[in-house]
Structures are given as C-alpha cells and as structure tokens.
Amino acid sequence: MVHIAVIGAHAGDAELMAGGIAAEAISQGLEVYFIHMTLGEKGHPTLSPKEYGEQKRKEALLVAEKIEAKVIFMPYKDGELYYNERTIIEIAKVLREIRPKVVITHWRGSLHKDHTITHDIVRDAVFYAAIKWFDIGGKENFSRIYYAENWEDSHEFQKDIYISISPESYKKWISAVKNYAFVRGETGFPYDEYYSNLARIRGIESYTLYAQVLMKPWYAKKEIIKKIEKL
Ligand SMILES: [Zn+2]
C-alpha cells in the first residue's frame, strides 16, 4: 500500500525534510514515494546545471534505493517552477496514479520561491486528485496533507506532530542522504550536520531518541470535543 508521497522542490528536499519518517514508515511495511519537482541543478558553485543535474539524478536514485523508497522525477527546471493549472493537473494525475494516503510537502513560509510554489501546487493537486468531478483521468484519491520541517521554510512553521524514528531507521536515513554531495556540505551549507542533529533535538523534545516533525494545515488543527469529560 502506498502510504506516503513526499514532494520536494529540489532533489534532496524530500529526503532531508521527511526521509527519517520515510525510513521509519518503510520499516513498518508501508510504501513511500519521493517526488522531485526539479533536480535542483542550479545549486552548484562550479558545475554547470547540466553536469550537476546528471549528478543529482544519480544521487537521488541511490538515496531512494538505500531508503527503499520509490522515486519520481518531474520535468521542471530549478528556479523555473511556475504555479499554473497545467502543473497542478500533472501532480494531481501522479497522485491519482500512485494513490498515497498521506502527502508531505513544503511549508509555504520559505525563503525559496520553488518551495513556496511547490507548496501551492501540491495543496491544489491534492484537492484536484480528491474530487471525482475533475476530469483529469484516473480514479479520485483522497490524501491528508502535512508540511515538513526544512531550514529554508521555517517562517511561522509549527511543530504539530512528532514522529518517532527508531535508531535503525535514523542510521539508514542519514547514511543514505550522504550520497548527495550537497548533503555532505560540498556546496556550503552543512545539511548533514543540520538534519542529523535536528532529528536528535526533536527526539529529545518528544522524550525519544530521534524524531521528525510535521505541521498540520490550519483547517486540520481544530479539535472538536464531543464529550465534555475529554476536556
Ligand atoms: Zn530546495
């Protein structure tokens, strides 16, 4: 059963912001897809987008293989992702095809426009995928949406749900993402150190070893108490 689709703007985003959750879900027998909107091919100081894009595609395949997740590459270009009907429908079609129960993507309070645009596209694609009257092919599929913690998307991000990650899943995740040169710090930011330590901090906050957090959409935050004794 496909349980989770993690949709990131650039190859590497999905695996960093929810790779621990993915590894943990897979260890529990669930199926996970990483969907990369772009390769993030313009993120290297010296390699050309063509060279770096080829490298990142190979790295992404290796990371998915190590985590035992599936991977889908969308055809959009780094920095040239646009919010439009065509792209929303393309993502909605993918969701109807792979049929996830849960979709995880970027929170929109981001410093990177590709992340904000991905948030907007995915929110609307989840809606299109769920309503059978949108004639886009395939059978409707309802999924719950959550936003993952990403250092670039931290403006007004809220830690609503802590997902505990076993030491085995944590190790598997961290050693897998190191297949990306940028995660090893080769483009400047120490991603490896940031995300491995962050998962430990989230673990401490939730009285466990390791964890990653998710934010709920505003409409899912309200709790309806039906019996007064639950107060
Ligand atoms: Zn990114």
Q: What is the DSSP string of 105-172?
A: EE-S--SSHHHHHHHHHHHHHHHHHH-TTS-SSS-----EEEEE--GGG-TT----EEEEE-HHHHHH
Residue 38 structure tokens: 């772009």
Measure Cα distances from 151 to 109, 110, 136, 217 in Å: 10, 9, 35, 19
- Kindly tell me if the per-residue pLDDT of 73 is higher than 80: yes
Distance 190 CA to ligand 1 centre (A): 14
- Kindly tell me if the per-residue pLDDT of 55 is higher than 70: yes
- Kindly tell me if the per-residue pLDDT of 225 is higher than 90: no
- The residues placing their C-beta within 5 Å of ligand 1, an ion, are 9-10, 13
| pTM of the model as a whole | 0.95
Average pLDDT, the chain: 96
Taking only the tens place, the pLDDT of each residue in 175-217 is 999 999 999 999 989 999 999 999 999 999 999 999 999 999 9
Residue 67 structure tokens: 């985590």
In angstroms, the CA 192 to CA 157 distance is: 21
Distance 17 CA to ligand 1 centre (A): 10
Distance 158 CA to ligand 1 centre (A): 19
Distance 8 CA to ligand 1 centre (A): 7
Distance 12 CA to ligand 1 centre (A): 7
Query: In this predicted structure, what is the pLDDT of residue 201?
Result: 98
CATH of the domain at 225: 3.40.50.10320
Q: Which domain holds residue 123?
A: 2-230
In angstroms, the CA 132 to CA 1 distance is: 21
Secondary structure (H, E, C), 34-69: EEEEECCCCCCCCCCHHHHHHHHHHHHHHHHHHHCC
Number of domains in the chain: 1
Distance 46 CA to ligand 1 centre (A): 18
Query: In this predicted structure, what is the pLDDT of residue 1?
Result: 61
Taking only the tens place, the pLDDT of each residue in 121-166 is 999 999 999 999 999 999 999 999 999 999 999 999 999 999 999 9
- Kindly tell me if the per-residue pLDDT of 227 is higher than 90: no
Residue whose C-alpha is closest to residue 91's, from 68, 116, 119: 119
